[in-house]
Structure 1
Amino acid sequence: MLTVKDLVVNYGAIQAVKKVSFEIHTGEIVTLIGANGAGKSTILKTISGILHPVSGEIIYQDRPLKKVTAPKIVRAGISQVPEGRHIFPGLSVQENLQMGAFLRTDRTAISKTYDDVYHYFPVLKQRRHQDAATLSGGEQQMLAMGRALMAKPQLMLLDEPSMGLAPIFINEIFDIIKAINAAGTTVLLIEQNANKALAIADRGYVLASGQIKLSGTGTELLANTAVQKAYLGG
C-alpha cells in the first residue's frame, strides 16, 4: 500500500530524517517507535504532504506522493490524526466531524460514516452538540480520530494517540485502533508507549536520530533485548 524509500527531510539546516525506508501492506498496523526527536512525526507530516522531502520516494498505491498537495493526499485515502489532537474550539463535536468530511463529494454516504464514528465513540454522539473544547483529553482524542475517519481513509496515520491520557483512556484508544483496523483501515502508528504499540502492531520499526535501527514483527521487537532496555523499561 505504502512504500517509503530513502526519505530525507530537513528542518532548516538540521537533517531530521536520514534515508529512511519502510513499507506498509494493506490491512496492517505498522508502528514507528523511538525517542523524542527521532524523526517519527516528521515522517508522518511528510507522508501527509505537510512537509516536503529533500529526496527519496513516497509511493502510495503505485502513485508517487512527493509533489502531491495535502488535500489531494487526503482525497487519495490518507488521513492523519495529529499529535496534540488539534480539535477546533468553538465548534461543536458534530461540526468538528463535519470538517473531517470537507473534501468528500459522496454526500449521501456521509451519514453512514457518522454512524460508524458514533459506533466507535458513543460518547461523541452523547456530546455531539457540545463545544469540542469542553471535552476531556481522552474525548478530544476520540474526536480527532473520528474526524479523521470522516474522510473515509484507507490509511490512517496516528501521531501519539495516547499522549497525556489517563490509563483508562489509553486502553480504550488502543482497543478502538484495533477495531478500526479490523474493519478494513490500514494504520501507521507513532507512539511513545512502545509496549502498547508493539502489542497491537503486525510490524514495527525503531527509529533513532532520524534513521531506522531495527525492524521486525511486533512480537519480535517486544522480545528484543535492546528494545526492552531502550523503550520498554527492561
Structure 2
Amino acid sequence: MLKVENISVHYGMIEAVKNVSFEVKAGEIVSLIGANGAGKTTILRTISGLVRPSQGRIQFEGKPIEKLVPQKIVASGLAQVPEGRHVFSGLSVMENLEMGAYLVKDKKKISETLEMIFDRFPILAERKNQDASTLSGGEQQMLAMGRALMSQPKLLLLDEPSMGLAPIFIQEIFNIIQEIKKQGTTVLLIEQNAKIALSIADRGYVLETGNVVLKGSGKELLASDEVQKAYLGG
C-alpha cells in the first residue's frame, strides 16, 4: 500500500532523514520506533506532503505522491493524526469531527462514519457539544483519531499517540488502534513506547539518527537484544 524508497530530508544543512526505505502492506500495523531526534515525525510529515524530500520516492497504492500537496494526499486515502493532537480549540467536538470530513461529499457516508466513531469513542458522543480544548489529553487523542477517521482513510498515520497520556488511556488508545485495523484500515504508527508499539505491530522498523538500523516482525524486534537494551531497559 505504501512504499518509501531511499528518502532523505534536509532542514537547511541538517540531514534529518538519510536514505530511509520501508513499506506498509494493506491490512498491517507497522510501527516505526526510535528515540527523540531519530527522524520519525519528519518521515510522517514527508509522507503527508508537509515536508518535501530532498531525494527518494514515496508511492501510495502504486502512485507517486512525494510531489503532491497535502490535500491531494488526503484525498487519495491517507490521513495523519499529528503529534500533540492539535484539536481545534474554540470549536466543539462535533465541529472538529466535521472538519475531518471536509473532502467527503456523500452526506450518508459522513453520517455512517460519525455513527461508527461515536460507537467506538462513546465519550465523544457524550461531549459532542463541548469545546474540544476542555477535553482531557486522552479524550483529545480520541478526538484527533476520530477526526482523521472521518476522511475514511485507507491508511492512518499515527504520530506518538501515547505522548502525555495516563497509563489507563494509553492502553485504551492502543486497543482502539487494533480495532481500527480489524475494521479494515491500515496503520503506520510512530511511537516512543517501543514495548506497546511492537506488541501490536505486524512488522516494525527501528530508526536511529535518520537511518533504519533494524527491521522485522513485531515479535522479532521485541525479542531482539539490541531493542531490549536500547528501548526496553533489558
What is the TM-score when the length of structure 2 is the normalising length? 0.99
Amino acid in structure 2 at the alignment position of 1:15: E
Give the secondary structure class of the aligned counterpart of 1:58: strand
Q: Partner of 1:85 in structure 2?
A: 85
How many percent of aligned residue pairs carry the same amino acid?
Answer: 64
Higher mean C-alpha deviation, range 100-109 or range 187-196: 100-109
Q: Partner of 2:172 in structure 1?
A: 172
Greater than 4 Å deviation, 4+ residue runs = none
The 1-side partners of 2:120 and 2:180 are apart by 8
Give the secondary structure class of the aligned counterpart of 2:36: coil
The 2-side partners of 1:28 and 1:175 are apart by 15
The 1-side partners of 2:8 and 2:65 are apart by 14
Residue 132 in structure 1 maps to residue 132 in structure 2: yes
Q: Partner of 1:95 in structure 2?
A: 95
Q: Partner of 1:193 in structure 2?
A: 193
Amino acid in structure 2 at the alignment position of 1:82: P
Give the secondary structure class of the aligned counterpart of 1:153: coil
Q: Partner of 2:4 in structure 1?
A: 4
Q: Partner of 2:66 in structure 1?
A: 66
The 2-side partners of 1:111 and 1:46 are apart by 31
What do the CA deviations read for 1:120-171 (whole angstroms, capped 9, x no partner)?
1000000000000000000000000000000000000000000000000000
Give the alignment of 1:105-184 within 5 angstroms.
105-184=105-184
Amino acid in structure 2 at the alignment position of 1:89: S
What is the TM-score when the length of structure 1 is the normalising length? 0.99
Give the secondary structure class of the aligned counterpart of 1:41: helix
The 2-side partners of 1:138 and 1:56 are apart by 36
Give the secondary structure class of the aligned counterpart of 1:102: coil
Q: Partner of 2:14 in structure 1?
A: 14
Amino acid in structure 1 at the alignment position of 2:48: S
Q: Which sections of structure 2, spanning at least 5 residues, go unmatched?
A: none
The 2-side partners of 1:224 and 1:95 are apart by 45
Q: Partner of 2:54 in structure 1?
A: 54
Higher mean C-alpha deviation, range 208-217 or range 5-14: 5-14
Q: Partner of 2:230 in structure 1?
A: 230
Using the TM superposition, give the Cα deviation of residue 107 of structure 1 relative to its aligned residue in structure 2, in angstroms. 2.1
Q: Partner of 1:216 in structure 2?
A: 216
Alignment length (residue pairs):
234
Using the TM superposition, give the Cα deviation of residue 172 of structure 1 relative to its aligned residue in structure 2, in angstroms. 0.1
Amino acid in structure 1 at the alignment position of 2:217: T
